[in-house]
């Protein structure tokens, strides 16, 4: 079976600093990979590289057997929740429609088939009830559901999520994470999920890619989220605490913070 | 003035009415993106450089519309290339605007002729634009209209969420530059019709009004075009009957439409609030 995502000997730096190198990673269809790491560890750069927006310094990235490139329809992308301005002339339905045909130039007419597809997408994320309300009037959770529908519009092989739960309350986090999980189970869509908090997706994650200090480790949550593993990765004492089914990483140096100290 | 005289006059200026109508439509349409991309200030900045270009052309005795377009495009290119981020953009515009206006005033002061064009460039002069130039204005407007339609969807996507649009393969930077060029062309046309100081009345007010009463991606542009058309053509037709210039009529109609749209919005919100209280 062709991996949904295959990174071979990947290396990427930023401003003379190596974010990660010799990264070998293969994500199979339907797999849920969480990407963890402190600020500045190269999580977002990894997504940009997979999206074809940033070339690797070394190595290759393949998506469904094809080299990564800009505008690849096989990749869906869910960004961080940022509220749409009130007064934006788009309704919920239109946000999803942009996922279907927003990249296309030409006279902006949405065909009957496309409208039906949008209706089905809205239904699949439970957004039909507010599909015709202006986006600017919708809550963060409602907007994020629409972004999930927008991202899966082209039936992607790989779904990239960049902190999609940030600034949502716990119930909304669970709902949006649930939608993403449902998608990959029912359609075998691979998910690469960048997050700073593993807890909302802990029950869904197959493997974790943990980036830190120019190194990385890959494995199941039980293999990676251990004090000795993260201590070795960071090169400084890090403690993983478990409490009430939730996991906390204590003592991990934040890179932004780190740089601040160096200055 | 009796009706017969009015219609005689109308015959004389029908080309101007046509130019006003086409500009009203294009201004309303491009205004939808001016609002979404938060570029009202940029429109004003471009119009001042467009004024400088037109004034320079007047002084040199070359085509005023061409000078106006050149000024617009230079401003649009500078703002487009240097001002990708809103903060940079606003400071660049703030610097360009008085410079453009000052240059324009200098050129006008140096201009020896006594021409209606002199102040027309600042406050509007459509009826004094000759037939050939009117053709140019209409032609440019039609080109902008067609180009806007072609890039409509990707530009909407980019205006809403650049990050996701780029991930989907929308050429964001190129689109932003194309949009600036289209905006520059529209501003250059508007400067001829309504004057550099009043361009916003046709490029911002109609779309701002439409956004008050609708969030539909179809209804908003359609309303904005109608509002722009009514303001421009209405202003010209009313001005014909009297001795006052055209621009104040255009700006007043466009403002009146805005006020009405706000009232409609306010009434709707109040009735919504009542429904909520009742429920």
Taken in order of first residue, the domains within chain A and their CATH numbers are 27-44+81-250 (3.40.50.300)
pLDDT at A95 over 50: yes
What's the rounded Cα separation, in Å, for the pair A221 and A201? 11
Q: Note the pLDDT of residue B114.
A: 63
pLDDT at A232 over 90: no
Q: What is the ipTM of this complex?
A: 0.89
Pairwise CB contact (< 8 Å): B157 & A103: yes
State the average pLDDT for chain A. Answer: 89
What's the rounded Cα separation, in Å, for the pair B267 and B263? 6
Q: Where are the domains of chain B?
A: 3-278
pLDDT tens figures, A104-135: 999 889 999 999 999 999 999 999 999 999 99
Q: Note the pLDDT of residue B131.
A: 78
Q: Does B164 touch chain A (CB under 8 A)?
A: yes
Pairwise CB contact (< 8 Å): A77 & B36: no
Residue with more model confidence, A11 or B10:
A11
Question: CB neighbours of A59 closer than 8 A, spacing ≥ 6?
Answer: A7, A8, A9, A10, A11, A22, A23
- Cβ atoms of A238 and A252 closer than 8 Å: yes
Q: Note the pLDDT of residue A251.
A: 80
Q: Which of A48-57, A81-90, A222-231 has the lowest mean pLDDT?
A: A81-90
Q: Note the pLDDT of residue B152.
A: 96
Q: Based on C-alpha coordinates, what's the Rg of chain A?
A: 19
- Domain B3-278: give its CATH code: 1.10.3470.10
Q: Note the pLDDT of residue A260.
A: 32
Q: Note the pLDDT of residue A258.
A: 38
Q: Based on C-alpha coordinates, what's the Rg of chain B?
A: 19
Q: Note the pLDDT of residue B9.
A: 80
Q: Note the pLDDT of residue A50.
A: 95
Residue A5 pLDDT class (50, 70, 90 cuts):
very high
Q: Does A83 touch chain B (CB under 8 A)?
A: no
Residue of A nearest to B210 (CA): A89
Residue A84 pLDDT class (50, 70, 90 cuts):
confident
**Helix and strand element counts for chain B (H, E):** 12, 0
- Cβ atoms of A211 and A17 closer than 8 Å: no
Q: Note the pLDDT of residue B116.
A: 57
Strand ranges of the sheet holding A66-67, from the earlier edge strand across to the other edge: A17-27, A5-14, A58-63, A66-67
Q: Does A70 touch chain B (CB under 8 A)?
A: yes
What's the rounded Cα separation, in Å, for the pair B15 and B131? 7
Q: Note the pLDDT of residue A143.
A: 93
DSSP β-ladder status, A207-212 and A32-37? parallel
Q: How far is B156 from chain A (nearest CA, A)?
A: 8
Q: What pTM value is reported for the model?
A: 0.90
Residue A257 pLDDT class (50, 70, 90 cuts):
very low
pLDDT, averaged in runs of 10, over chain B (279 residues):
80 84 95 93 93 92 91 92 79 92 91 68 73 87 96 95 92 93 95 88 96 94 97 92 87 97 93 69
pLDDT tens figures, A28-54: 999 999 999 888 788 889 999 999 999
**Residue A156 vs residues A75, A199, A263, B50, B192: alpha-carbon distances, Å:** 5, 25, 43, 47, 50
**Residue numbers of B between 179 and 218 with CB closer than 8 Å to A:** 210-211, 214-217
How is residue B188 written in tokens? 């250059």
What's the rounded Cα separation, in Å, for the pair B33 and B145? 13
Q: Note the pLDDT of residue B232.
A: 94
């Amino acid at each position: 079976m062709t991996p949904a995502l295959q990174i071979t000997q990947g290396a990427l730096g930023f401003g003379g600093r190596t974010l990660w190198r010799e990264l070998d990673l293969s994500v199979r269809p339907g797999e849920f990979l969480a990407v963890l790491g402190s600020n500045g560890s190269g999580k977002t750069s990894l997504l940009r590289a997979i999206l074809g927006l940033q070339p690797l310094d070394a190595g290759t990235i393949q998506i469904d057997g094809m080299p990564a490139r800009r505008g690849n329809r096989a990749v869906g992308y869910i960004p961080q929740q940022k509220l749409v301005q009130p007064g934006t002339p788009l309704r919920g339905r239109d946000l999803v429609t942009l996922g279907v045909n927003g990249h296309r130039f030409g006279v902006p007419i949405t065909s009957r088939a496309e409208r039906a597809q949008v209706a089905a997408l809205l239904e699949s994320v439970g957004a039909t009830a507010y599909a015709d309300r202006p986006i600017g009037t919708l809550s963060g959770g409602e907007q994020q559901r629409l972004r999930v529908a927008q991202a899966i519009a082209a039936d992607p092989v790989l779904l990239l999520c960049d902190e999609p739960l940030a600034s949502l309350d716990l119930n909304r986090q669970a709902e949006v994470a649930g939608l993403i999980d449902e998608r990959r189970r029912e359609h075998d869509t691979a998910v690469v999920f960048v997050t700073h908090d593993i807890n909302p997706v802990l029950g869904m994650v197959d493997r974790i890619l943990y980036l830190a200090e120019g190194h990385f480790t890959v494995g199941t949550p039980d293999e990676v989220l251990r004090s000795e593993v993260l201590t070795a990765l960071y090169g400084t004492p890090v403690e993983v605490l478990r409490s009430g089914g939730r996991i906390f990483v204590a003592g991990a140096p934040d890179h932004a913070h780190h740089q601040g100290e160096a200055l | 003035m009796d009706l017969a005289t009015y219609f005689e006059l109308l015959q004389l200026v029908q080309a101007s009415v046509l130019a006003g109508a086409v500009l009203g439509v294009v201004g309303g349409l491009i205004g939808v993106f001016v609002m979404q991309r938060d570029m009202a200030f940029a429109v004003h900045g471009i119009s001042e450089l467009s004024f400088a270009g037109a004034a320079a052309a007047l002084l040199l005795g070359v085509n005023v519309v061409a000078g106006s377009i050149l000024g617009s495009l230079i401003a649009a290119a500078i703002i487009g290339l240097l001002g990708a981020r809103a903060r940079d953009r606003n400071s660049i515009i703030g610097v360009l605007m008085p410079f453009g206006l000052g240059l324009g005033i200098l050129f006008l002061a140096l201009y020896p002729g006594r021409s209606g064009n002199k102040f027309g460039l600042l406050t509007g002069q459509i009826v004094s634009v000759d037939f050939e130039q009117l053709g140019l204005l209409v032609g440019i407007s039609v080109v902008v209209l067609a180009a806007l339609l072609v890039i409509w969807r990707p530009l909407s996507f980019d205006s809403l969420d650049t990050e996701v649009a780029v991930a989907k393969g929308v050429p964001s930077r190129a689109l932003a530059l194309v949009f600036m060029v289209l905006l520059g062309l529209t501003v250059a046309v508007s400067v001829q019709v309504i004057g550099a100081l009043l361009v916003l009345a046709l490029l911002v007010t109609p779309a701002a009004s439409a956004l008050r009463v609708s969030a539909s991606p179809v209804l908003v542009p359609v309303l904005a075009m109608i509002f722009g058309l009514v303001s421009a053509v209405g202003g010209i037709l009313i001005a014909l009957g009297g001795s006052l210039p055209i621009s104040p009529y255009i700006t007043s109609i466009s403002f009146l439409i805005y006020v009405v749209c706000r009232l409609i919005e306010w009434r709707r919100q109040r009735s919504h609030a009542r429904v909520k209280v009742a429920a």
